[in-house]
Chain A
Amino acid sequence: QEIKALSKAADTACEQFVKLYYETMEKRRHMVSKFYMDSSTLLWNGNPAKGLTEVTSFLENVPSTKYVIEGMDTHPMPGEPIVDQKSILVTTSGTVQYEDSNSKGFFQNFILTAQGTTWKIVSDSMRTFE
């Protein structure tokens, strides 16, 4: 039914997003602002950032990273609750290595919303553990 179609679309968006997002963080960090919008929020290990400028400058200052994705899942958010548009919830996990430090485990989740033909991050929340 409708949920099936929405879920399939969410899966496709998630797969593309995860590949592009982590590639951009690793190799083209200066482009990472393209994923966010004016109302985006970010939480990195409890440190908040709000708005495109703050979020982008936070991410641009994080040391260079290398990710390995081990778990990934997504689904559509019912009732289009975030804004009056289509939204999905994406969760990822795996390991992240900052510069030369040891690999840490991480859990991360995103709420993405469709703005016209583009997905943008509404919220981005990450925790590392070791």
Chain B
Amino acid sequence: IGFDLDVKSALPSIKGNFFPNDNIRDLVCRFLDQYYSLYDTNRQALLEAYHDQVIFSMCPFYSKLASSYPHKLNDYFSDGRNMSRVDQQRRQKALKVGRLSVVALLDSMPATQHDPSSYVVDVNYFNEANGILSFTVLGLFKETVTKHNPIRSFSRTFVTQAQGSGIVIVNEEFMITNPVSDQLKRAFQVPAPTPSSSPVTTSSAALTP
């Protein structure tokens, strides 16, 4: 005989992309579409996407869940700013301020091809009064020139400001790690258009404008 206190609370089910409204969805999808097509082909051209005074940092880390993945993240560590690993001096050096240094760093990183079907997008902050919009993209990319073409899992949080009819990045934090086995299985597979696929996969179809 037990007690009534041993109630297990359930986790809510996992939902797809979160956009507060359709206008923001369209704006963010258009931005990501343009941003990643340039990122994969001509990173210098991303200068226009960044504010003069943008603050950027990159955080590579190994996840124990992906510990069997053989491809090291060595290309990222010299400019990495994982605070659980690097000291004060390295932290300062790894904080990139201004769009020239940000784009120079991006341009020095391995060439990539992104997998749009892997994206999950969350708009976490939106303020009409000051034009600030913040969102996170999770997804996968492949290194196209690196030996063995490793696949990486990433999270990029963009804080943007309204400018003209578009938006410009004022803060960005870019996390990079290795994929877990389920992510690898789904990588670069266009999702089957059946309603039975997982909620995350189905809803990422919303990213196609």
Which of B92, B122, B170, B182 has the most chain A CB atoms closer than 10 A to its own CB? B122
Binds B, one of A20-28, A30-38, A88-96: A88-96
| CB-CB under 8 A for A71 and B157, given A81-B130, A98-B11, A130-B65 | no
Q: Are A89 and B171 in contact (CB under 8 A)?
A: yes
Say whether B122 contacts A71, CB under 8 Å. no
Tell whether B16 is near chain A: CB-to-CB under 8 Å.
Answer: yes
Q: How far, in Å, is B81 (CB) from chain A's closest CB? A: 5
Q: By CB atoms of chain B within 10 A, which of A71, A75, A94 has the most?
A: A71
Whether the pair A43, B124 counts as a contact (CB closer than 8 A) is yes
Contact with A along B8-41 (1 / 0, CB 8 A): 1111111111100000000000000000000000
Q: Which of B9, B54, B57, B182 contacts A61 (CB 8 A)?
A: B9
A-B contact pairs, 9 of them (CB 8 A): A11-B83, A14-B83, A46-B18, A46-B120, A73-B57, A82-B132, A93-B61, A105-B177, A123-B134
Which A residues are within 8 Å of any B CB, using their own CB?
A: 3-4, 7-8, 11, 14-15, 41, 43-48, 61-63, 68-79, 81-82, 89, 91, 93-95, 98-99, 103-105, 107, 109, 111, 122-125, 127-130
